[in-house]
Amino acid sequence: MGTDQKELLIEAAEALRDQYADQVAISTSRLLNPLLDLWGMAIEIGPETAAPLEKLLTVYAGPRDLATPAELGELVERLRSTFDPALV
């Protein structure tokens, strides 16, 4: 897939992370739609890119009611690592 799609995905994930950076906890219900949007972008790139989003969506749609900003930061790093595994 093109570099542009990857860059757009990373930028969108960073924007979501930054939006909640000053929060202590975030209601997972507030994150589901934005994460689904990111998943839609990621699945077009490939299933390995979508996998980190699928893991969060599974947890957030199920047993968890709260998320932390750190989890969104970890998501950004995991997405980056799918594009350049040598950086991990």
* Model confidence pLDDT, tens digit, residues 45-85: 999 999 999 999 999 988 889 999 999 999 999 999 988 76
- Mean pLDDT in residue range 39-43: 97
CA–CA separation, 78 and 19 (whole Å): 18
Residues 6+ apart with CB under 8 A from 17: 69, 72, 73, 75, 76
Residues 6+ apart with CB under 8 A from 15: none
Q: Which residue has the higher pLDDT, 14 or 2?
A: 14
Residue 72 and residue 53 in contact, taking contact as beta carbons nearer than 8 Å: no
Percent of the chain with pLDDT over 90: 83
- Mean pLDDT in residue range 11-17: 97
Q: Where are the domains of the chain?
A: 3-80
Three-class DSSP category at 27 = strand
Percent of the chain with pLDDT over 70: 93
